[in-house]
Structure 1
Amino acid sequence: MKNIPVEERTPWRVSGMAILLLNIALMAGATVLVVLCGALSEGTGMTPALAAGLSVGLAYLCIVGPVLFAGLKVLKPNEAMVFTLFGRYYGSLAEAGYFFVNPFVSAVPSPKASELAAAEKAQGPNKGASSRAQRAARTISLKAMTLNNDKQKINDAQGNPIIIGIVVIWKVVNATKALLNVDDYFEYLSIQCDSALRNIVRLYPYDSTDDETSLRGSSQEVAQRLLEEIQQKTVIAGIEILEARITHLSYAPEIAAAMLQRQQASAIIAARQMIVEGAVGMVEMALEKLSANNIVELDEERKASMVSNLLVVLCSNKDAQPVVNSGSIY
Structure 2
Amino acid sequence: MSTTTTSHSPESEGPGRSARLIQNESTTEIPVHLLFRDDPDPVTVPLKPAVVARRQGTGEQPRLRRPTYPAPRPAPQVDPELTERRARVLPGAAGVFAGVCGAAGCVATSWWAGVLPPLAVEALALPVRAGVGLGPVQWAAYAGAGALGMFGFGGLARGRAGRAWVLGLFGRYRGTVRRTGLLWVNPLVLRRRVDVRLRHWRSEAMPAADGSGVALRVVVLVVWRVRDTARATLGVDDHETYLRECVEAALARVPMAVPGGGKGAIEAAGDALTRLVAADTAPVGLEVFAVQPVRVEYAPEVAAAMNRRRIAALDAQHRASVLTSVVDSVEDTVTRLTMRGLVELDDYERKALVKDLTVAFCSGRTESGQ
TM-score w.r.t. the length of structure 2 is 0.62
- The equivalent residue for 1:179 is 233
- SS across alignment from 1:249: strand
Letter of the 2:346 partner, please give it. Answer: D
Pick from 151, 156, 161 the counterpart of residue 67 of structure 1.
151
1:279 matches 2:279: no
- SS across alignment from 1:102: coil
- The equivalent residue for 1:30 is 105
- The equivalent residue for 1:168 is 222
- The equivalent residue for 1:114 is none
- Structure 2 counterparts to residues 52-91 of structure 1, below 5 A: 57-91=141-175
Tell which deviates more after alignment, 160-169 or 224-233.
160-169
Pick from 199, 203, 220 the counterpart of residue 148 of structure 1.
203
- Calculate percent identity across the aligned residue pairs: 25
- SS across alignment from 1:260: helix
| Contact in 2 for aligned 1:204/1:215 (Cα 8 Å) | no
- SS across alignment from 1:187: helix
| Contact in 2 for aligned 1:219/1:246 (Cα 8 Å) | yes
- The equivalent residue for 2:39 is none
- The equivalent residue for 1:220 is 267
| Residue 295 of structure 1, CA deviation | 3.7
Instruction: Indicate how the Cα distance of structure 1 residues 285 and 96 shifts in structure 2: closer, same or farther if over 3 A, else same.
Output: farther
Q: What's the RMSD between the two structures over aligned residues?
A: 3.5
Pick from 307, 310, 313 the counterpart of residue 260 of structure 1.
307
1:234 matches 2:281: yes
- SS across alignment from 1:74: strand
| Residue 314 of structure 1, CA deviation | 2.8
| Contact in 1 for aligned 2:95/2:155 (Cα 8 Å) | no
1:159 matches 2:236: no
Letter of the 1:9 partner, please give it. Answer: R
- SS across alignment from 2:367: coil
TM-score w.r.t. the length of structure 1 is 0.69
| Contact in 2 for aligned 1:165/1:247 (Cα 8 Å) | yes
- The equivalent residue for 2:6 is none
Letter of the 1:142 partner, please give it. Answer: V
Q: Which has the higher helix share?
A: 1
- SS across alignment from 2:366: coil
| Residue 33 of structure 1, CA deviation | 3.8
Once residues 296 and 228 of structure 1 are traced to their aligned partners in structure 2, the CA distance between those partners, rounded to angstroms, is: 68
Tell which deviates more after alignment, 304-313 or 6-15.
304-313
Once residues 23 and 204 of structure 1 are traced to their aligned partners in structure 2, the CA distance between those partners, rounded to angstroms, is: 61
Letter of the 1:206 partner, please give it. Answer: V
1:13 matches 2:89: yes
Tell me the alpha carbon deviations over residues 46-97 of structure 1, each in whole angstroms, 9 at most, x when there is no partner. Answer: 9xxx998x68853542212212223222233321110123332211112332
1:289 matches 2:345: no
1:191 matches 2:245: yes
| Residue 167 of structure 1, CA deviation | 4.3
Once residues 216 and 260 of structure 1 are traced to their aligned partners in structure 2, the CA distance between those partners, rounded to angstroms, is: 20
